[in-house]
Amino acid sequence: MKPLQQSSIAVIGVGTMGSQVLHRLAADGVRATGFEQFDVGHQRGAAGGETRIFRVAYKEGGGYVPLLREARAAWLELGAQTGVELLEPCGALTIGSAEDPDVRTVVDVTREWGLDVEQLDHREAARRFPQHRLFGDDLVLLDRQGGLLHPQRAVAETALLAEKAGARIHPSTTVVDVVDRGTGVAVHYRQGDEIQVAEYDQAVVCTGPWITRSVPAIARDVQIRRAVLCWFEAGPNWVPERFPVGIRRSGGENVYSFFPDVGGGVKINLHVEKSVVDDPDALDPVVAQEYVARVSAAVSRGLTGLPPKPAAVRTFMEGYTADNHGIIGRDPQRPNVLVMGGFSGHGFKLAPVFARAAVDLLGTGRTDVPIDRLSLSRLH
């Protein structure tokens, strides 16, 4: 394997993962070129929708805690480098039934890893977070290392940092094929009406909801699903310092993530079965009234003081694997291509540390980032 510093790397998709990989490569002095089909920081990929949760007391399991600790430090560092706040450390709430398996995992992970999580009794929770209407057996857990991420801002600022460190980025440029030639890759891309070809030593393909199209070898392992987000008009009581981001798991349809008002209102993501997206270029923006009514009902049961109907309803998409862990590994059909995809609704917060793993793999084929659960072989 050629030393990374003497290599050229193409990064296909300058979104969540792509911007981080480019930044890391460029900071290490590697010749890196990014290709993005839209503008950098756009809303149409998996990073769309204004805000993301960052939490360390992880319902997906304690194995992620070391990665989350590293990611938290990385986001704060990136914020310092860019001069733009990317992670607001407002804490993250988990509110839900003590019987709920995910809530139990949060409790177990907190205990096992000695995390900075405060458990509030109902009186204290009502005093500090009166926006939530609590149910009888709800636990209220405040992850003090949690917070709110600004995804589009984070993608755009990280990409800018990568460019300042020497990376080249081609916006409005769609990659139509990456051919492995044995000694390197040929990237075929469309700019305007013309198809051009450029050669690199290796490529990273991280095309988010388009990943099954870009990497046929994982087409059966990743399903692209539609997420519906609803914004409710809110007042000054709903800003991050007073209404931290979080997850509600109080049984039935009282299961959703909630996000403070950062300009567009309070955002609610109801956790119900998501529809499958067959063509990511033709995401259906139409949401049935019955669905909106279900979101409104959950909001009026669980929150106090929001209007009954959302002011905005929008659709987004993300790739999911069968076990809800992402994929980072070599394309079995193209050894010079590293694949990152299928991050299953929780990949944003981990992007800086996944990027470090990717850059290690490009350089030496190994990484000390514990990403075994993201190996492609586990799915085959």
Ligand X SMILES: Cc1cc2nc3c(=O)[nH]c(=O)nc-3n(C[C@H](O)[C@H](O)[C@H](O)COP(=O)(O)OP(=O)(O)OC[C@H]3O[C@@H](n4cnc5c(N)ncnc54)[C@H](O)[C@@H]3O)c2cc1C
Residue that has been written with the tokens 């911007």 in this structure: 19
Q: Is 115 in the site for ligand X (CB under 6 A)?
A: no
Binding residues among 48-67 for ligand X as defined by CB under 6 A: 49, 52-53
Residue from the set 79, 184, 208, 363 that interacts with ligand X by CB under 6 A: 208
Indicate the residue among 22 and 227 with the shorter CB distance to ligand X.
Answer: 227
Does the protein bind ligand X through residue 341 (CB under 6 A)? yes
Is there binding between residue 16 and ligand X (CB under 6 A)? yes
Total residues contacting ligand X by CB under 6 A comes to 38
How would you classify the pairing of strands 202-205 and 334-341?
Answer: parallel
Is residue 316 close enough to count as binding ligand X by CB under 6 A? yes
Name which position in 7, 11, 13, 321 contacts ligand X (CB under 6 A). Answer: 13
Instruction: State yes or no: residue 117 binds ligand X (CB under 6 A).
Output: no
Told to check if 37 binds ligand X by CB under 6 A, we report: yes
- Which is closer to ligand X, CB of 76 or CB of 126? 76
Distance CA 365, CA 349 (A): 24
User: Structure tokens of 375?
Assistant: 């190996």
What is the dihedral sign for C-alpha 37, 43, 44, 45?
Answer: positive
Pair 150, 85: CB distance under 8 Å? yes
Q: Is 15 in the site for ligand X (CB under 6 A)?
A: yes
By C-beta, is 61 or 235 nearer to ligand X? 61
Give the pair of three-digit tokens for residue 176. 């139509």
Segment 249 to 288, residues that bind ligand X, using CB under 6 A: 269
CA torsion through residues 345, 349, 354, 355, sign: positive
**DSSP state string for 262-284:** SSS-EEEEE-SPPPB-S-GGG--
- In whole angstroms, the minimum distance from the beta carbon of 91 to ligand X comes to 14
- Selected from 56, 103, 229, 230, the binder of ligand X by CB under 6 A is 229
- Nearest Cα neighbor of 331 from 322, 323, 340 is 340
Does position 145 interact with ligand X (CB under 6 A)? The reply is no
Q: Indicate whether 206 belongs to the interface with ligand X (CB under 6 A).
A: yes
Closest CA to 222 of 376, 60, 329, 96: 376
H or E stretch at 140: strand 138-143
Task: Choose among 17, 109, 13, 15: nearest CA to 64.
Answer: 109
Closest distance to ligand X from the beta carbon of 209 (Å):
6
By the criterion CB under 6 A, which residues form the site for ligand X?
A: 12-18, 35-38, 45-47, 49, 52-53, 174-175, 206-210, 214, 227, 229, 269, 316-318, 341, 343, 345-349
